[in-house]
């Protein structure tokens, strides 16, 4: 059986989500920018519900990195997620970095710190390159990606409704 991946930084622990933290994931869904496509926001019927998210967490048996919860060591509170997506806009051999944090902790360097830990893990796991996609309007995430060495590739998926999707890449 594969061992669960846990990453630590000076201020953070990246680890598997716990069922009782579904409320944090629901909060992330609830506070997403209205420019985010509807399938990634809470719908008119209130889905996903906390109960649905609890089921997702129970069913997640990812043994590699996936999208772990990011917990602050000092407060022992979960503030978002940061990890790698297989089958995102990268490939299985070149996964995509993804992160999202609660608005109340924006601007405190957590995305940069957690992403840096994920990059180190990816390098040690043998990955040579990672991708990240970001909407053109998401200046804060673009800034984080630039800080950790991602560069825009020039590839853009034009989307006049939700904002163009920019493709970035980082060699490890």
Kindly report, residue by residue over 32-55, the tens digit of the pLDDT.
999 999 999 999 999 999 999 999
**Residue 24 to residue 30: CA distance in whole angstroms:** 10
Q: What pLDDT is stored for residue 91 in this prediction?
A: 54
Rg of the chain over all Cα atoms, to the nearest angstrom: 16
Tokens for 45?
């019927």
Above 90 in pLDDT, residue 61? no
- pLDDT category, 9, cuts 50, 70, 90? very high
Confidence of residue 94 (pLDDT cuts 50, 70, 90): confident
Q: Where would I find the H helices in the chain?
A: 22-30, 50-59, 110-124, 139-147
**pLDDT at residue 93 above 80?**
no
Query: What's the CATH fold of domain 7-128?
Result: Aminopeptidase (3.40.630)
123 pLDDT higher than 70: yes
pLDDT of residue 63: 55
**What average pLDDT does this structure show over 91-103?**
87
Q: What is the pLDDT confidence band of residue 157, given thresholds at 50, 70 and 90?
A: very high
For residue 1, the model assigns a pLDDT of 41
Of 43-47, 59-63, 64-68, 94-98, where does mean pLDDT reach its minimum? 59-63
The answer to whether residue 92 scores a pLDDT higher than 60 is no
Determine the Cα–Cα distance for residues 111 and 12; give it in Å rounded to an integer. Answer: 10
Q: Average of pLDDT values for 81-104? A: 84
Distance (Å, rounded) from C-alpha 116 to C-alpha 35? 27
């Amino acid at each position: 059986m594969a061992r669960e991946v846990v990453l630590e930084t000076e201020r953070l622990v990246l680890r598997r989500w716990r069922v009782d933290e579904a409320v944090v994931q629901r909060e992330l869904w609830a506070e997403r920018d209205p420019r985010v496509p509807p399938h990634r926001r809470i719908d008119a019927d209130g889905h996903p519900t906390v109960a649905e998210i609890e089921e997702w967490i129970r069913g997640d048996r990812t043994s590699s990195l996936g999208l772990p919860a990011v917990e602050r060591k000092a407060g022992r509170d979960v503030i978002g997620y940061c990890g790698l997506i297989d089958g995102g806009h990268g490939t299985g051999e070149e996964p995509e970095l993804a992160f999202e944090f609660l608005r109340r902790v924006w601007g405190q360097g957590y995305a940069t710190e957690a992403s840096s830990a994920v990059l180190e893990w990816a390098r040690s796991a043998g990955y040579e390159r990672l991708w990240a996609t970001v909407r053109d309007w998401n200046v804060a995430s673009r800034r984080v990606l630039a800080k950790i060495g991602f560069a825009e590739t020039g590839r853009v998926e034009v989307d006049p409704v939700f904002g163009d999707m920019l493709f970035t890449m980082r060699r490890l």
